[in-house]
Each structure stands twice: as structure tokens, then as C-alpha cells.
């Protein structure tokens, strides 16, 4: 259960939003955005009112993954209406700038963009706002974690990164800003052959659970490397909505119940 964030004047709460949960990773390409989108959809499927904030300002992927194009409206000229698909409210820098615009921004501009996406968007009433963080555990991520009233954070990692201690870095980053780490999700945990269903432990197996135990982190679950997970998110129809009865959709929903 995600409680309300502490009342910290440095981190004003977002009115109407009960809990903000960050999805983070030690580096890019581990499936953080895929996990964020599917978790958001799984939380909604479990009956919650859900928003999804794409804070990966340099490489926004939610417009494509959530199958949303076009620009947000601003009826009062002050606040933006979030875009919406599959019952999820979504905001992303990808809606506000052309896809081929380079994002050569300095830190403070990134921070103000994030604050605006958090506070100048009409999120309405949400049980949970999932924030897809930019990859990495550097200063930018630390500042972000510091300035957003996070109820908790989830760390996505592949088995290899766990061995490389990226998960530990993520854990330390959130500890420094007093954000509880809700647990770790192992993505690309093993390979599922789409033809014969055979399972191969490409990056070995079981390490994540053990590493999570050693770090005193909850192990939230594992998601295999599977063609249909990649295809469905590339098509803007993540597996939780397009194949709700699949084993993988069920795994995301199980993980969502533990947040
Ligand atoms: P990140 O946000 O960490 O950079 P993405 O979510 O964009 O990573 O994923 C990187 C690529 O890997 C994407 O093409 C995505 O579709 C694919 N991918 C992510 N998770 C899985 C998975 N479990 N099975 C198959 N492909 C995946």
C-alpha cells in the first residue's frame, strides 16, 4: 500500500493526486518505459484511477507506447489537459515538441519542464501517478527525486545490471532523498521462444531475487524477454491492454497489486 508522501514544504503535493510513484533504472534500455506503461495499465485494470507522467524528457516514449498523438488542449490558457488512452491520463514532452527536435537542454530547464508537467497539468483526481523517470542515477535524477513528492520508487533492472550493482545505486539515490524503495522488478529475466515456448536463462537466473534480499529490497517479480511485449508496445497497445489474458499481462497485474 502506497501512503501519502510526507508534508514537506520543499515538495508541495499535487492536489487531487493521492500518490506519486517513480519507475527508475540504473541505465537506459532495460525496459523502464515498457514497465511503466504496463504497470500503469495494470493498476487501472485493478480498478485505480491512474496517470502516467513521462519524465524521460530527452527520450520521451509514452506517446508511441500508449498510442497517443496530437497536442494537449489548454482550455483556460494556463493549465494543460492531459492526453488520454485506455483510461490512463498521460503527459509527455513528446506531445509538446516535434519528434525530431533535439532536446539540448540544461538542467534547470529540464527541472522546470518537469515541474510544469507535474503541477500545470490538470490531472484531476488520481489514486496513483506513475512517473517514468529518465534513466540513470546521476545528479539530474537525484534532483528530480528530491523535488517530486514521491510516495515510493520502483527499480527496473535486467539480471546483468543487478550484477553490476546499478540497482544498489538506485537504492542509494532514493535513500538519500528519503523516498522508500517499494522494490525491484527484473525485466528481460529470461527468454521465451515465441515459437516453441522454450525458456532460456540468457542472463542466468535467480540473481535478482538474491541481490534484492541482500540489499533489503522487496523483489516484486520478473518479466521475461518476449517478442509480444516488444511488438505490442511498439504498436501503441501494451500487452496488458492488448492481451489481458496472457501470462505476461497477469504478471504485470500481480506486480501492480504489490505497489
Ligand atoms: P528504457 O525505458 O529502459 O530505455 P524501453 O522500455 O524503451 O527501455 O525498452 C527498450 C526496448 O526493449 C524497447 O524496444 C522495448 O520494446 C523492448 N523491451 C522492453 N522490455 C521488454 C521485454 N520484457 N520483452 C521484450 N522486449 C522488451
In a domain, 2, yes or no: no
In a domain, 134, yes or no: yes
Calculate the dihedral angle through the C-alpha atoms of 233, 235, 241, 246, rounding to the nearest 10 degrees.
-70
- Report the separation in Å between the CA atom of 37 and the middle of ligand 1, taken as the mean of its atom positions: 11
In a domain, 12, yes or no: no
The residue whose C-alpha atom lies closest to atom 23 belonging to ligand 1 is: 225
- Report the separation in Å between the CA atom of 111 and the middle of ligand 1, taken as the mean of its atom positions: 25
What pLDDT is attached to residue 1?
Answer: 44
Binding-site residue set for ATP: 26-33
Atom number, ligand 1, closest to the C-alpha of residue 29: 4
In a domain, 75, yes or no: yes
In a domain, 9, yes or no: no
What pLDDT is attached to residue 43?
Answer: 98
Cβ neighbours for 152, distance < 8 A, ≥ 6 positions apart: 2, 19, 21, 22, 179, 180, 181, 182, 259
Q: How far apart are CA 23 and CA 153, in angstroms?
A: 6
In a domain, 15, yes or no: no
Q: Is 133 in the pocket of ligand 1 (CB under 6 A)?
A: no
Domain of 168 in residue numbering reads as: 23-257
Count of beta carbons in the 10 Å neighbourhood of residue 135 = 21
Q: What string of DSSP letters covers 149-213?
A: --SEEEEEE-HHHHHTTHHHHHHHHHHHTT--EEEEEEEEEEEE-TTT--EE-TT-SSHHHHHHH
- Assign 3-class secondary structure to 47-106: CCCEEEEECCCCCCCHHHHCCCCCCCCCCCCCCECCEEECCEEEEEHHHCCCCCCCCCCC
Kind and range of the H or E element at 223?
strand 219-225
Report the CATH number at residue 230.
Answer: 3.40.50.300
Tens-digit pLDDT profile for the chain (259 aa)?
Answer: 444 445 566 677 888 999 999 999 988 889 999 999 999 999 999 999 999 999 988 889 999 999 999 999 999 999 999 999 999 999 999 998 876 766 666 667 777 888 889 999 999 999 999 999 988 888 778 877 888 899 999 999 888 766 556 777 888 889 888 999 999 999 988 888 878 888 888 877 776 777 788 888 899 999 999 999 999 999 999 999 999 999 999 999 999 999 9
Which three cell numbers mark 98? 516535434
Q: How far apart are CA 124 and CA 102, in angstroms?
A: 31
Distance of CA 25 to the CA centre of its chain: 9
Q: How far apart are CA 24 and CA 8, in angstroms?
A: 22
Q: How many domains does the chain have?
A: 1
What pLDDT is attached to residue 10?
Answer: 66
- Report the separation in Å between the CA atom of 29 and the middle of ligand 1, taken as the mean of its atom positions: 6
Note whether 30 and 157 are within 8 A (CB): yes
In a domain, 110, yes or no: yes
What pLDDT is attached to residue 5?
Answer: 46
- Report the separation in Å between the CA atom of 144 and the middle of ligand 1, taken as the mean of its atom positions: 23
In a domain, 3, yes or no: no
Give the ipTM of the model, two decimals please.
Answer: 0.99
Binding-site residue set: 26-33
Amino acid at each position: 500500500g502506497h501512503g501519502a508522501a510526507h508534508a514537506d514544504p520543499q515538495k508541495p503535493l499535487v492536489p487531487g493526486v493521492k500518490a506519486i510513484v517513480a519507475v527508475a533504472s540504473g541505465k537506459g534500455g532495460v525496459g523502464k518505459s515498457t514497465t511503466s506503461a504496463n504497470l500503469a495499465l495494470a493498476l487501472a485494470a485493478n480498478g485505480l484511477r491512474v496517470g502516467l507522467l513521462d519524465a524521460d524528457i530527452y527520450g520521451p516514449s509514452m506517446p508511441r507506447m500508449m498510442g497517443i498523438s496530437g497536442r494537449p488542449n489548454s482550455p483556460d490558457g494556463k493549465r494543460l489537459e492531459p492526453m488520454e488512452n485506455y483510461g490512463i491520463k498521460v503527459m509527455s514532452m513528446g506531445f509538446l515538441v516535434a519528434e525530431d527536435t533535439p532536446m539540448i537542454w540544461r538542467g534547470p530547464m529540464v527541472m522546470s519542464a518537469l515541474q510544469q508537467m507535474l503541477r500545470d497539468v490538470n490531472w484531476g483526481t488520481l489514486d496513483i501517478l506513475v512517473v517514468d523517470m529518465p534513466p540513470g542515477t546521476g545528479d539530474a535524477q537525484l534532483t528530480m527525486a528530491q523535488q517530486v513528492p514521491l510516495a515510493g520508487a520502483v527499480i527496473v533492472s535486467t539480471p546483468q545490471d543487478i550484477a553490476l550493482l546499478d540497482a544498489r545505486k538506485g537504492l542509494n539515490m532514493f535513500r538519500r532523498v528519503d523516498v522508500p524503495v517499494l522494490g525491484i522488478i527484473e525485466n528481460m529475466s529470461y527468454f521465451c521462444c515465441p515459437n516453441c515456448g522454450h525458456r532460456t536463462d540468457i542472463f542466468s537466473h535467480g540473481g535478482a531475487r538474491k541481490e534484492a534480499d541482500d540489499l533489503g529490497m522487496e523483489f516484486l517479480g520478473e518479466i521475461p524477454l518476449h517478442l509480444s511485449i516488444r511488438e505490442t508496445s511498439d504498436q501503441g497497445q501494451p500487452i496488458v491492454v492488448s492481451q489481458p489474458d496472457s501470462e505476461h499481462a497477469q504478471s504485470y497485474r500481480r506486480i501492480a497489486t504489490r505497489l
